[in-house]
Structure 1
Amino acid sequence: MKKKTFLKSCLAATLLTLASTSVLASNGLIAIITPSHDNPFFKAGAEGADAKAKELGYDTLVASHDGDVNKQNQLIETAIARKAKAVILDNADADASIGSLERLKKAGIPAFLYDREINKTGIAVTQIVSNNFQGAQLAGEKFAELMGEGGEYVELLGPESDTNAQVRSEGFHDILDNFPEFKMVARQSANWSQTEAFSRMESILQANPNIKGVITGNDSMALGAEAALQAAGRKDVFIVGFDGLDYVRDSIIKGSNIKATIMQPAYAQAQRVAEQADLYIRTGSTGLPEKQLMDCVLIDSSNAKNLSNFALKK
């Protein structure tokens, strides 16, 4: 009996040691909440943050709010209940997200936002977003180069209420409006949707058969426009997109209608925000301003082969 008691005590001590080691091996939990991973851009961001957080010694909880503010609120409440060390968020709405982030701050859990800002400062520790205006200027410059001596063109916009859609359009026109020989014959919202872009492009093409180029606020719309042009046998119309999807990379390499896109560094952006979360957890400060911009990169035939998962391979 004494021998069995001794063995049980040794086993219990071993299990306790293993449990303690397991706890010590983790620096705590970081919750990573993003839009749907069905979109490659959002998936790349989630993967980037997850990989970096794990590399830095954290457990992670990766979840999607699917663009639903109520679901986002529930996920943030879960992070609070699980005493997360930090929340990394690509938010569902610039205004409606403020309340849940204020609850998070009240609970003593720092928030680190990337890709999209909220319309209030002082709640999140960090807000890192792509420099949409700079990226759109790059797109405008490439588009102007492809337009050559001039002609008619079309713009497909994201949702009119979306800040990114507005800023990108402003960046396009900061360049294109300097060329009086360029005539915009149609400007419609396709709500970031490939399906809507296909139907919009079909209608626009029927009404404006002489168009030379199409500039789009994201790559999903570029792919929809490309499908419509190909269905109409219009290989002569070029497209410039925005995002840096691998599908668009493939079109550029093939020499299809899409000639260029603007890469948002989604993976690198999410990794940077995870690094700042770690720094804040360890020291109480990032040493950086709350709002930060990351420049975008032009992708065309010269470098498309190096693009993979929103990052350029060296």
Structure 2
Amino acid sequence: MSHRNRRLTATGAAALAGTLLMLTACGDSDEGSGSDSDSGSSGSNLITIITPPSDNPFFKAEADAAKKEAEKLGYDTSVASHDDDPNKQSELIDGAIARDSAAIILDNAGADASIGPVRKATEAGIPVFLIDREINETGIAKAQIVSNNAQGAQLAGQEFVGAMEGKGDYVELTGKESDTNAGVRSKGFADVISQYPDMKRVARQTANWDQQEAFSKMETILQRHPDIDGVIAGNDTMALGAVAALKAAKQTDVIVVGFDGSPDAIAQIKAGHMRATVLQPAALGAEQAVRQADKFIETGKTGQPEKQAIDCELVTKENAGEFGLFARR
């Protein structure tokens, strides 16, 4: 049982004793016994978890991990998706404020667009703990816990260069321009690949983290550049879209490297259709955010710096069996 549960249990016992005394003195009056009291009690023990769409297995894994950890610590939970829509995110955060959440765990919908809603929650007395994606301001959220995207992208870049033996034409698929991670990963790839003058990037396009969009973009790119040697993608969802387009074009010898460590990507690596991915530990980051939220609720401090990074791991055919759902087994 967490410190919070022990405190709530003790408080609840005292409150129950007081309630019994009041009922004895006042008889069977219904006044003051409505749902407002129940709502306040629930709200004080509620952790709200907001992520991008759960049809992406990465976001589902972090939402599930946060929910499980929060409930293990004795909290009620509310889980919702903003669908990468800043307006919907604002509505969900307003709802969390209205419900008097004890904390918000947020994988945000934009590095700039999320600053205002995070500040609004903080000013309402609700601490916000960011996971996976940072915002472009510090001092508002209590924590920003992300994968070490620069380190992970360099791992991916090194594996990509090695697989291509330092030469050839390649394509890069990037994520949403509003997402800080997209830029950090792209720069990490470039920091490595730019050291090899015989590697030529013939196309660089955003597919907005989306598999179908990546498929369509790759189909178009292949019409203009049918002899590419490799594809490096800012996430596995886009990498899988590229793999599908390459299969449709019967170009299965093209080297594909992704980022996330999704089960589907690992399956493609085992089957020989992808060279590698970089696993970012979704569950670990979400669990850390919940534990730090619990500590902040208890003590007013997290005990950690606001900006926190967790190193990524390279997944290849040689070690693919060692990894499960966004985590090492």
Deviates more, 1:91-100 or 1:296-305: 91-100
Q: Which amino acid aligns with 2:326?
A: F
Letter in 2 for 1:68: D
SS in 2 for 1:311: coil
**Post-superposition shift, 1:237?**
0.7
**Paired position in structure 2 for 1:273:** 289
The structure-2 alpha-carbon separation of the partners of 1:208 and 1:74, relative to structure 1 and needing over 3 Å to count, comes to closer
The whole-number CA distance in structure 1 between the counterparts of 2:226 and 2:113 is 42
Which residue does the alignment assign to 1:204? 221
| Mapping of residues 126-165 of structure 1, within 5 Å | 126-165=143-182
Distance 1:160 1:36, change over 3 A: closer
Change in Cα spacing, 1:77 to 1:206, as seen in structure 2 (3 Å) is closer
How many correspondences in the alignment? 294
Amino acid paired to 1:105: T
CA contact (8 A) 1:26 1:58 kept: no
Give, in angstroms, the shift of residue 25 of structure 1: 11
Deviations 1:256-303 (A, max 9, x none): 2x1100111111110010010011111111111111111111111122
Quote the Cα distance in structure 1 between the aligned partners of 2:177 and 2:119. Answer: 27
Q: Which residue of 1 aligns with 2:280?
A: 264
Identity level (%): 57
- Is the 2:261–2:278 Cα contact (8 Å) retained in structure 1? yes
Tell me the equivalent position of 1:6. none
Q: Which residue of 2 aligns with 1:3?
A: none
Residue 84 of structure 2 is matched in structure 1 by 67
Aligned residue identity for 2:276: A
Secondary structure (helix, strand or coil) at the match of 2:222 reads helix
Deviation of residue 84 (structure 1)? 1.4
Distance in 2 (alpha carbons) for counterparts of 1:213 and 1:154: 6
Paired letter, 1:42 = F
The CA deviation at 1:75 is 1.9
Distance in 1 (CA, whole Å) between partners of 2:61 and 2:168 is: 37
Q: Which moved more, 1:157-166 or 1:212-221?
A: 157-166
CA distance in 1, matches of 2:280, 2:56: 14
Equivalent residue number for residue 236 of structure 1: 253
Counterpart pick for 1:98 among 111, 115, 125: 115
> What is the correspondence of 1:1-314 to structure 2 with a 5 Å cutoff?
28-256=45-273, 258-313=274-329
Once residues 81 and 44 of structure 2 are traced to their aligned partners in structure 1, the CA distance between those partners, rounded to angstroms, is 23
In the aligned structure 2, how far is the partner of 1:201 from the partner of 1:130?
27
The 1:25–1:80 alpha-carbon spacing in structure 2 relative to 1, beyond 3 Å, is closer
Offset at 1:252?
A: 0.5
1:26 Cα deviation after fit = 11
Provide the secondary structure at the position in 1 that maps to 2:171: strand
CA shift for structure 1 position 203 = 2.2
Counterpart Cα distance in 2 of 1:245 and 1:110: 30
Equivalent in the alignment of 2:36: none
- Mind listing any 5+ residue stretches in structure 1 that lack a counterpart? 1-8, 17-22
Contact conserved, 2:134 with 2:180, CA < 8 A, in 1? no
* Residues 1:297 and 1:125: Cα distance change in structure 2 (over 3 Å): same
What amino acid maps onto 2:59 in structure 1? F
The residue aligned with 2:6 is none
- Alpha carbons of structure 1 residues 230 and 80: separation in structure 2 relative to 1, 3 Å: same
Q: Deviations over 1:24-47 (max 9, x none)?
A: 999811111111111111111101
CA RMSD in angstroms comes to 2.2
Distance 2:310 2:166 in 1: 33
- Report the counterpart of residue 5 of structure 2 in structure 1: none
User: Cα gap change, 1:77/1:204 in structure 2, threshold over 3 Å: closer, same or farther?
Assistant: closer
One-letter amino acid matched to 1:237: V
Q: Would the aligned equivalents of 1:157 and 1:217 in 2 still touch at CA under 8 Å?
A: yes
Take 1:254 and 1:305, find their aligned partners in 2: how far apart are those partners? Answer: 12
CA gap 1:150/1:294 in 2 versus in 1, 3 angstroms? same
2:49–2:66 CA contact under 8 A, matched in 1: yes
Residues 70 and 210 (structure 1), Cα distance of their counterparts in 2 relative to 1, 3 Å cut: closer
Change (3 A) 1:159 1:232: same
State the shift of 1:232 in Å.
1.2
Contact 2:43/2:100 (<8 A) preserved? no
The aligned amino acid for 1:156 is: L
1:112, distance to aligned residue in structure 2 (A): 0.7
C-alpha deviation, 1:198, in angstroms:
1.3
**Residue 71 of structure 1: how far off its partner (Å):** 2.1
